[in-house]
Structure 1
Amino acid sequence: MPATTGSPTDHEHLLRSTEFLDHDSPEVRAFVDRVVTDHDAPAREKAVRLYYAVRDDVFYEVYGADLSRAGLRASSVAREGKGFCLHKSVLYAAAVRAVGVPSRLVFGDVRNHLASDRLKEHIGGDVFFHALTSVRLEGRWVRATPVFNKTLCRLYGMSPLEFDGTADSLYHPFDDRGQQHMEFLTMHGEFDDLPHDFVMERMRSQHPNFLKGTGTVGGGSLAEEAGR
């Protein structure tokens, strides 16, 4: 399992373009240039702008998501404009590296108390393999989760997660009605790039009914399920 490399004070390797965090691609460069118009702005301001762009401009959808190596590259996510936590975290980690902010991918397991019955049947329960990001701003690491966009949050009765670059942005434990939402169970560590083999092994072992043989998540719509 490819864990984080480099010394605690050496972050140069966490700015590089990689197979999945391919921020030197035309698609990611175009995404960043559209969002960050002032390249001389402070790093935290640029990281926050990119957070909201990934959160709200890349639609959150599990069904139909491509988990192939090509489908999980930041360039593919920027081009398609949709995906779930894996895709959106990859795009955000790549985008902030493009503006000089070191980043890592973080993986864990969460219990989702508000998942629809159909999604839980599809997943095989209410425990989900989950991805987020860790970014280094102003001399410290903070975690950011640019996942659920505002529209989906409104449909599911949740407040969207905010991020100011100074504190962790993680899943709210309760929704707007006080019902329990997300509960972190296990953290699998932080990674310099997407560990595709590890991710797919976890997905197939935890969610055996989730993937088709092609590595594409079966069809449906989270927005429609929220309406029902």
Structure 2
Amino acid sequence: MEQYLKETAYLNYSAKEIQDLIEPFKNKGLTPVEIAKQVYLLVRDGYRYDPYTISIDKNHYIASNLAVKTKGHCIDKAIILIAALRGLGIPARLRLAKVTNHIAVERLTERFGTNVLTPHGMAEVYLNGNWVKATPAFNKELCILCKVAPLEFDGETDSMFQEYNQEGAAFMEYLEDYGTFDDVPLNFMLENIREHYPTVFAVDTDKTTFKF
């Protein structure tokens, strides 16, 4: 379990940016479950979801760099959540997967050539002897626009994207599980991105961040 509490170059929770983020949750007499639930909501709604930026720059994925932004990709938000929880003494790790997004896909399909999102990132949190999935990607405002209920996290059951929205339309489909990682697996992520979005990198091979 020690590796899931460890500070790393990416999950640098002793940095001021992360310490500022988690300060309100320290020494409040809260249980680990209560802390995890509140930090989850902070990350879910405090950072707007942005699927239109792809970065292959390792500095992009450092938690302290992400924490000062106003928006982020699903992996970005998962990294913030994991670093914050580890900084509060709660074991957490990254889980990656491949999903198909069926809602508002026109821009995604135009830019990426597909509505498949990969790697999709979520957190797993160790609470009361169990690993529980937490997906803070979609902020509440975006969920309202997509007509899907915001994902809650109770610290006991897995919080994962719904298969259908509130109108019964297909919303999100999990295609492949890449497993869990105790740190940000940058090489795996870069290989995955290049494999699934080859046209994104075909124009300018010197760029490290692509915005659409």
Tell me which interval the TM-score lies in, with the shorter structure as reference length: over 0.9
SS in 2 for 1:114: coil
How far, CA to CA, are the matches of 1:105 and 1:125 in structure 2? 24
Percentage of identical aligned residues = 35
Normalised by the length of structure 2, the TM-score is: 0.93
> What is the match of residue 189 of structure 1?
179
**Length, aligned pairs only:** 208
Q: 1:205 aligns with which of 176, 183, 195?
A: 195
Higher mean Cα deviation, 210-219 or 105-114?
210-219
- Structure 1 unmatched runs, 5+: 1-10, 220-228
SS at match of 2:85: helix
What is the distance in 1 between the residues matched to 2:127 and 2:112? 35
- For residue 30 of structure 2, give the secondary structure of its aligned residue in structure 1: coil
Q: What's the offset of the Cα at 1:40?
A: 3.0
SS of match in other structure, 2:68: helix
**Kept after mapping to 2: 8 A contact 1:74/1:90:** yes
Compare the two structures and name the one with the higher strand fraction: 2
The alignment status of 1:93 with 2:82, answered yes or no, reads yes
2:7 aligned partner:
17
Cα RMSD for the two superposed structures: 1.5
Q: Is the 8 A contact 1:84 1:147 kept in 2?
A: yes
CA distance in 1, matches of 2:114, 2:166: 23
State how far apart, in whole Å, the 2-side matches of 1:215 and 1:116 are: 24
Q: 1:38, CA displacement in angstroms?
A: 4.1
Verify: 1:148 aligned to 2:138, yes or no.
Answer: yes
Which of 135, 138, 149 is the matching residue for 2:128? 138
**CA shift digits 1:138-187 (9 cap, x unpaired):** 11111000110011111222111000101000001111211011111110
Secondary structure, in 3 states, of the residue corresponding to 2:95? strand
Q: Which runs of 5+ in 2 are unaligned?
A: none
Residue 52 of structure 1 aligns with which residue?
A: 41
Distance 1:21 1:97, change over 3 A: same
Name the structure 1 match of 2:208. 215
1:163 corresponds to which of 153, 156, 162: 153
1:76 aligned to 2:65?
A: yes
Structure 1: distance between partners of 2:55 and 2:68 = 13
CA distance in 2, matches of 1:50, 1:173: 25
CA distance in 1, matches of 2:114, 2:176: 16
